[in-house]
Amino acid sequence: METNPNQPHTLPPDYFDAVYQANQDPWKFETSPYEREKYATTLAALPRAHYERAFEIGCSLGVLTEQLAARCGQLLAVDVAAAPLERARQRCAYLPQVTLEQRRIPEEFPAGKFDLIVVSEVGYYWSPADLERAAARILAALVPGGHLLLVHWTPPVHDYPLTGDAVHEFFLHQTPAEPLLRHLHGQRHDQYRLDLLERR
């Protein structure tokens, strides 16, 4: 797996606290045409109209969470930072099926099973070891036939441990004798990629 030699560790919560302290919407989730188009592509990639119990890792301000909620019976969305979660709670307050929690993944992975897990713009913040731990927890939590949706920015970022491509290739090249994930479909865009996998 291609890693960043200058940043071998998972980015800690205080990294994100500082980012959100400097700018309430540092990645322009609420205003960027790139984000708007990516969210539309993300939702269009989901093959089912409805998921009973979904889990979104790294929900930030809850912009995608709000849109995803229409497709979910229950949606648990988590983020490592408190500030964006407050904005997400305000945004999703009218959605009773949405639960928002502050959790650090993989250490604080929730209990229970899910038929959809979304890992969008978060996997490259993990070290390779934490990516492996997160993947093991994701696989254990995904019901047979459940979907894992990966969406990540692909250009390298100097202070991220991994690239988006490294995260996707890790999931696509699991090598047990009987792979637990089946690749249903993938897309590559100018600055991001999307891959949909299914738990066998």
Residue 62 forms part of a structural domain: yes
Q: Which domain range does residue 72 map to? A: 13-199
* Predicted pLDDT at 60: 97
What DSSP state is assigned to residue 2?
-
pLDDT digits (tens, 9 = 90+) for 51-79: 999 999 999 999 999 999 999 999 999 99
pLDDT at 3 over 90: no
Percent of the chain whose predicted confidence (pLDDT) is above 90? 92
Total domains in the chain come to 1
Q: Which helix (H) or strand (E) holds 41?
A: helix 33-45
pLDDT at 4 over 90: no
pLDDT digits (tens, 9 = 90+) for 181-200: 999 999 999 999 999 999 99
Residue 8 forms part of a structural domain: no
pLDDT at 163 over 80: yes
The residue type of 116 is L
Residue 38 forms part of a structural domain: yes
Pairing of strands 51-57, 114-120: parallel
Q: Is residue 19 exposed (0-12), middle (13-18) or buried (19+ Cβ within 10 Å)?
A: middle
pLDDT at 124 over 70: yes
Give mean pLDDT, residues 121-144.
97
The label of the residue with tokens 């800690």 reads 12
Spell 141-168 as b/e; 16+ CB within 10 A means b.
Answer: bbeeebbbbbbbbbeeeeebbbbbbbbb
pLDDT digits (tens, 9 = 90+) for 76-101: 999 999 999 999 999 999 999 999 99
pLDDT at 175 over 60: no
Q: For residues 120 and 122, what is the distance between their CA atoms, to the nearest angstrom?
A: 6
Residue 4 forms part of a structural domain: no
pTM equals: 0.95
CATH number reported for the structural domain that contains residue 37 in this entry: 3.40.50.150
Residue 104 forms part of a structural domain: yes
Q: Are 118 and 149 in contact (CB under 8 A)?
A: yes
Residue 2 forms part of a structural domain: no
The residue type of 114 is F
pLDDT digits (tens, 9 = 90+) for 29-56: 999 999 999 999 999 999 999 999 999 9
Residue 5 forms part of a structural domain: no
Q: Are 186 and 41 in contact (CB under 8 A)?
A: no
Pairing of strands 181-188, 192-199: antiparallel
Average pLDDT of the chain is: 95
Residue 1 forms part of a structural domain: no
